């Protein structure tokens, strides 16, 4: 059994697919702390742009949506994400075309489950992300999602906030998307020190007031609220602090 | 600037408007502008009653000229009155939107001064938001009954959705409980807006369409004596003739005491059943006559689809691998998404019960109505099926009455995305 150890980037993963494709006894993973037994071998995958391009060209020719599926899968927090993506690519090639609608196939079920979780969390965060305005008018949103959805969110907000500067900061993964009003740059980011605008607390208070007054207190249903807005997200929501 | 007290008065008055959806529009942002609309809608927060917050729901004023019996803000009520200026609304919307608290604005108002004066002020506000503040997020504007057509059509060019509330399910009840509103005053502007929507569609207008997210309406259930059958016939007409996107039902709660109003609320199960029937009409290909007779009410024991299936047992069981989509949609326990997924998956090979379970199709109720590769796992006799489903229904109802103080709540929570 060979472990192809990847670094988490898409290019590196596609290179691994190229290297591992003919190997019937292997696993692609980005998990660094795998338990190795006898007869196990570890290969560090070194990104090769040419190999990655060839794999992408192959799957794109068979299914135009496949690259996006894989891109979403690789943002998952599942330890199996590379394995599922690899199986999915192999299935597309074996089937010589899109397999997305083979909804009873186990690989497609796993792929759909992970993809839905990533896509679902990205959609949820489009609503639950909270920006604060700093003294220079830059919007800053710290959060801690399960899946790596920062890039997806940055694209969404860049379309909304034309010409405005913002930072979306994933404090768990220590990465951030920065938008200067025109372009998005992904960067690593540790702790941030923020000087808030003088209006920030005024609007946060109005928002809390609004949150309390739209609630119909005589019809409590906290379970429904927590189902749609899990408690782990609350620490970044002014209305829930 | 707006203070917390006025915000409280004007949002507490607005919260009984059920609609909070922000879907149906794909308005794009402009260079240097703020916001766009997301076609599927986005929920931004959830309150402890389980409902979603998608829009900033606020009244311009709660100082009302009218004296509708059921309304907490009616002329004769003794409540705190407040109003805000267009600028204050704009500032608040922009600042909430920028912080991603909301998806847009739901602006409504009590009728103050005259209907035209009110409508003018509402229109001024949305035009200011669009032009001066360059705001391209979602706007839902409540129409003021009896305002001039020209004012209403002008506003329609700038907003994503407009709604006039039919308020009550019959003209007679409207006369009794909302004497200053008339059926024509409510339906005419809806029809005019529909005509404008159709004009845009026929002429393939791309930029600057009127109300791209269409119209909705709301009615109070249980404040007047109409049956569910009558209500659903009105609903069907509103969908098919005026092309509404949604009809909202709001179960009557006695907040105001009046000799013309019942002293007890309508109950949330009734509201829940109406929404279920509404969904059958819109997404499951049902005709209102199949669901409920004109003078009848919906069954409390069974959801309307189950109830229909039990009366039509001769049509079941159906074979999962061959039944057309329209038939799968009529199987109790299989939803629109499930039915579609079955038709996709079976193209690649016949499905058995195990496949369905792995695809997360819930078989608890469906198993009585389907076969997979000819195999049947349900109860044999019609009576046994009824008994099994009754047990299930009782459990569901109990859940709804105890922990779910409001079934509508679950639906309203979803409505932000529908």
pLDDT in tens, B342-389: 999 999 999 999 999 999 999 999 999 999 999 998 887 878 888 888
Q: Which residue of B has its CA nearest to A229?
A: B46
Q: Which residue of A has its CA nearest to B351?
A: A104
- What is the pLDDT, as a whole number, of residue B405? 38
Q: CA-CA distance, A234 to B167, in Å (whole number)?
A: 37
When pLDDT is averaged across residues B9-26 and rounded to a whole number, the result is: 86
pLDDT tens digit sequence for B317-336: 999 999 999 999 999 999 99
pLDDT band of residue B15 (cuts 50, 70, 90) is confident
Kindly report which listed range (A223-237, B4-18, B50-64, B162-176) carries the lowest average pLDDT score.
B4-18
pLDDT tens digit sequence for B112-168: 999 999 999 999 999 999 999 999 999 999 999 999 999 999 999 999 999 999 999
Shortest Cα–Cα distance, B383 to chain A (Å): 33
Average pLDDT, chain A: 94
Determine the residue among A99, A105, A127, A229 to mutate to test chain B binding: the one whose Cβ has the most chain B Cβ atoms within 10 Å: A127
Q: Is the pLDDT of residue B295 over 70?
A: yes
pLDDT band of residue B340 (cuts 50, 70, 90) is very high
Instruction: Tell me the percentage of chain B whose pLDDT exceeds 70.
Output: 94
* Residue A127 contacts B, CB cutoff 8 Å: yes
Closest C-alpha to B71, from B228, B247, B261: B261
Q: Which residue of B has its CA nearest to A208?
A: B4
Domain residue ranges of chain B, discontinuous segments joined by +: 4-298, 304-401
Q: CA-CA distance, B145 to B119, in Å (whole number)?
A: 9
Q: Is the pLDDT of residue B402 over 60?
A: no
3-state secondary structure of B318: strand
Q: List the single residue in B341, B403, B406 with the smallest CB-CB distance to A103.
A: B341
> What ipTM score was computed for the predicted complex, to two decimals?
0.94
Q: Is the pLDDT of residue A33 over 80?
A: no
Chain B neighbors of A213, CB-CB under 8 A:
7-8, 11-12, 15
pLDDT tens digit sequence for A132-171: 999 999 999 999 999 999 999 999 999 999 989 999 999 9
Helices and strands (H and E) in chain B: how many: 15, 10
When pLDDT is averaged across residues B4-20 and rounded to a whole number, the result is: 86
Quick check: B70 and B222 in contact, CB under 8 A? no
Q: Is the pLDDT of residue A203 over 70?
A: yes
Kindly report which listed range (A5-9, A18-22, A41-45, B401-405) carries the lowest average pLDDT score.
B401-405
- What is the pLDDT, as a whole number, of residue B213? 95
* Residue B337 contacts A, CB cutoff 8 Å: no
3-state secondary structure of A29: strand
Domain residue ranges of chain A, discontinuous segments joined by +: 2-121, 129-240
| Beta-sheet pairing, B318-319 with B246-251 | unpaired
Q: Which residue of A has its CA nearest to B406?
A: A219
Kindly report which listed range (B43-47, B141-145, B395-399) carries the lowest average pLDDT score.
B395-399
pLDDT band of residue B417 (cuts 50, 70, 90) is very low
Between A and B, how many CB-CB pairs are < 8 A? Answer: 160
Query: Cβ neighbours of residue A122 under 8 Å, at least 6 residues apart?
Result: A147, A149, A152, A153
- What is the pLDDT, as a whole number, of residue B258? 85
Q: CA-CA distance, B154 to B162, in Å (whole number)?
A: 12
- What is the pLDDT, as a whole number, of residue B409? 36
Largest CA distance in chain B: 70
Return the axis-axis angle of helices A150-160 and A106-128, rounded to nearest 10°: 50
pLDDT tens digit sequence for B165-208: 999 999 999 999 999 899 988 999 999 999 999 999 999 887 77
* Residue B405 contacts A, CB cutoff 8 Å: yes
Q: Is the pLDDT of residue B255 over 90?
A: no
- What is the pLDDT, as a whole number, of residue B410? 35
- Taking domain B4-298, whether its CATH number is 3.20.20.70 is answered by yes
* Cβ contact, residue pair B403, A221, below 8 Å: yes
- What is the pLDDT, as a whole number, of residue B412? 34
Q: Is the pLDDT of residue B404 over 60?
A: no
Q: CA-CA distance, B162 to B406, in Å (whole number)?
A: 26
Quick check: B215 and B162 in contact, CB under 8 A? yes
* Cβ contact, residue pair B47, A220, below 8 Å: no
Q: List the single residue in A131, A133, A225 with the smallest CB-CB distance to B48.
A: A225
Q: Is the pLDDT of residue B310 over 60?
A: yes
Q: List the single residue in A126, A205, A214 with the smallest CB-CB distance to B42.
A: A126
- What is the pLDDT, as a whole number, of residue B400? 55
Q: At CA B56, angle to CA B52 and CA B60, rounded to 5?
A: 140
Closest C-alpha to B393, from B222, B269, B268: B269
Chain B neighbors of A203, CB-CB under 8 A:
95-96, 99
DSSP-derived secondary structure for B20-73: ----S--PPP-TT-B----TT----EE-TTS-EE-EEEEESB---S---TT-TT
Kindly report which listed range (B64-73, B259-268, B401-410) carries the lowest average pLDDT score.
B401-410
* Cβ contact, residue pair B30, A162, below 8 Å: yes
pLDDT tens digit sequence for A105-132: 999 999 999 999 999 999 999 999 999 9
When pLDDT is averaged across residues A66-85 and rounded to a whole number, the result is: 96
Closest C-alpha to B83, from B103, B60, B99: B60
Determine the residue among A128, A161, A216, A218 to mutate to test chain B binding: the one whose Cβ has the most chain B Cβ atoms within 10 Å: A216
Chain A neighbors of B56, CB-CB under 8 A:
210
Between B410 and B163, residue with greater pLDDT: B163
Sign of CA pseudo-dihedral A113, A118, A123, A127: positive
Q: List the single residue in B11, B137, B359 with the smallest CB-CB distance to A103.
A: B359
């Amino acid at each position: 059994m060979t472990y192809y150890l990847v670094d988490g980037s898409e290019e590196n993963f596609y290179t691994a697919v190229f290297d591992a494709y003919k190997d019937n006894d292997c696993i692609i993973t980005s998990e660094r702390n795998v338990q190795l037994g006898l007869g196990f071998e570890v290969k560090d995958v070194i990104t090769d742009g040419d190999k990655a391009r060839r794999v992408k060209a192959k799957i794109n020719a068979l299914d135009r949506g496949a690259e996006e599926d894989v891109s979403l899968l690789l943002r998952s927090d599942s330890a199996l994400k590379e394995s599922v993506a690899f199986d999915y690519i192999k299935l597309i090639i074996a089937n010589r075309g899109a397999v997305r609608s083979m909804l009873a196939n186990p690989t497609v079920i796993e792929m759909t489950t992970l993809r839905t979780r990533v896509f679902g969390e990205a959609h949820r965060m489009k609503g639950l992300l909270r920006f604060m305005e700093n003294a220079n008018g830059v919007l800053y949103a710290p959060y801690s999602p399960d899946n790596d959805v920062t890039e997806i969110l940055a694209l969404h907000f860049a379309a909304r906030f034309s010409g405005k500067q913002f930072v979306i900061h994933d404090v768990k993964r220590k990465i951030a998307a920065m938008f200067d009003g025109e372009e998005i740059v992904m960067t690593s980011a540790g702790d941030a020190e923020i000087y808030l605008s003088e209006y920030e607390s005024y609007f946060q208070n109005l928002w809390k007031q609004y949150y309390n007054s739209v609630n119909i207190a005589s019809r409590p249903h906290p379970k429904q609220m927590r189902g749609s807005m899990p408690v782990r997200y609350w620490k970044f929501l002014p209305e829930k602090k | 600037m707006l203070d917390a007290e006025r915000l409280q008065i004007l949002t507490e008055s607005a919260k009984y408007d059920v609609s909070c959806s922000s879907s149906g529009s794909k308005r794009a942002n402009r260079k240097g502008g703020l916001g766009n609309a997301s076609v599927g809608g986005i929920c931004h927060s959830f309150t402890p009653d389980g409902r979603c917050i998608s829009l900033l729901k606020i009244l311009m004023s709660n100082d009302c000229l009218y004296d509708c019996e059921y309304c907490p803000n009616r002329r004769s009520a003794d409540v705190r009155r407040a109003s805000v200026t267009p600028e204050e609304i704009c500032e608040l919307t922009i600042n909430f939107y920028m912080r991603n608290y909301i998806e847009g604005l739901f602006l409504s108002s009590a009728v103050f001064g005259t209907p035209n004066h009110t409508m003018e002020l509402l229109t001024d506000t949305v035009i200011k938001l669009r032009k001066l503040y360059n705001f391209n997020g979602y706007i839902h504007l409540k129409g003021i009954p009896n305002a001039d057509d020209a004012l209403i059509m002008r506003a329609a060019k700038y907003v994503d959705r407009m709604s006039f509330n039919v308020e009550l399910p019959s003209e007679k009840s409207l006369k009794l409980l909302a004497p200053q509103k008339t059926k024509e005053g409510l339906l005419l502007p809806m029809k005019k807006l529909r005509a404008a929507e159709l004009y845009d569609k026929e002429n393939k207008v791309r930029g600057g369409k009127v109300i791209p997210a269409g119209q909705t309406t709301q009615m109070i259930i249980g404040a007047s004596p109409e049956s569910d059958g009558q209500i659903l016939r009105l609903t069907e007409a509103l969908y098919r003739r005026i092309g509404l996107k949604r009809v909202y039902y709001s179960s009557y709660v006695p907040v105001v005491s009046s000799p013309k109003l019942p002293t007890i609320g309508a109950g949330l199960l009734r509201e829940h059943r109406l929404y279920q029937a509404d969904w059958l009409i819109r997404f499951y290909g049902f005709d209102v006559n199949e669901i409920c007779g004109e003078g009848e009410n919906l069954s409390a024991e069974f959801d309307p689809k189950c109830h229909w299936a039990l009366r039509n047992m001769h049509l079941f069981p159906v074979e999962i691998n061959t039944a057309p989509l329209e038939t799968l949609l009529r199987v109790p326990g299989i939803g629109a998404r499930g039915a579609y997924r079955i038709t996709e998956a079976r193209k690649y090979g016949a499905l058995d019960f195990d496949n369905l379970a792995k695809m997360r199709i819930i078989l608890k109720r469906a198993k009585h109505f389907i076969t997979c590769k000819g195999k049947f796992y349900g109860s044999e006799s019609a009576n046994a099926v009824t008994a099994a489903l009754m047990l299930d229904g009782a459990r569901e109802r109990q859940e709804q009455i105890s922990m779910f103080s409001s079934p509508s709540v679950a639906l309203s929570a979803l409505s932000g995305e529908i």
